Each structure stands twice: as structure tokens, then as C-alpha cells.
């Protein structure tokens, strides 16, 4: 049980860390490129950064010095999202194993 919780926290921390790093490099995501793959990656990265940026806009703190607030909000949001998804997947796996042992 302990390792399952550690896996959930690790998944959330990795997703939150990536989201925070993307938030700090949000200025580079607005550059136009002719490569289709890079444009798709920029769109996905910008979508990951949106929750923190919206909170920063609500707090009226969107300047480059205020990206720390947005990165912290993104880390918290995506950490919770990653932890919850990991928890649900591990619970679903346990239930499937339990069902498989009865048949």
C-alpha cells in the first residue's frame, strides 16, 4: 500500500513539475513556426499552462515576474490531477485483479 501511494505522488510530482517548467517558458510558445509537429507541441504545452495563467490573470499578476505564481498554481493543479488519475488507475487495477481471481 505504501508503494502505491508513492507511485501516485511521484506521478503527480512529475506532471506538476513539467507543467511548472512549461509555465516558465510560456513566452517561447507564442513563436510561429512552419513545422506542423512543433505547432502541435506548442498548442499542447500552452494548453497545459492555461490553468495557472488564468489564475494569474484573476490575480492581476501576469507580468514575467509573476510567472512564479502561475507556475505554482499549475504545479498544484497538475499535481492533484496526476495524483488523482494515478490513484484511480491503481484502484481500477486492484478491482480487475480481484474480479479475475473470482472467475
| pTM exceeds 0.85 for this model | no
Separation of alpha carbons 8 and 39, rounded Å: 31
Residues 47-83 pLDDT 10s = 898 888 888 888 776 666 678 888 899 999 999 999 9
The rounded percent of the chain whose pLDDT value lies above 70 is 90
Q: What gap in Å lies between CA 31 and CA 68, rounded to an integer?
A: 21
pLDDT attached to residue 84: 93
Domain-by-domain residue ranges, the chain? 2-102
Amino acid at each position: 500500500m505504501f508503494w502505491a501511494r508513492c507511485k501516485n505522488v511521484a506521478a503527480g510530482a512529475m506532471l506538476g513539475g513539467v507543467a511548472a517548467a512549461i509555465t516558465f517558458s510560456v513566452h517561447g510558445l507564442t513563436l510561429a513556426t512552419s513545422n506542423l509537429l512543433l505547432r502541435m507541441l506548442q498548442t499542447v504545452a500552452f494548453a497545459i499552462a492555461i490553468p495557472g495563467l488564468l489564475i494569474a490573470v484573476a490575480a492581476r499578476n501576469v507580468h514575467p515576474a509573476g510567472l512564479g505564481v502561475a507556475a505554482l498554481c499549475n504545479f498544484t493543479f497538475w499535481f492533484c490531477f496526476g495524483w488523482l488519475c494515478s490513484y484511480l488507475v491503481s484502484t481500477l487495477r486492484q478491482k480487475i485483479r480481484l474480479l479475475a481471481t473470482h472467475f
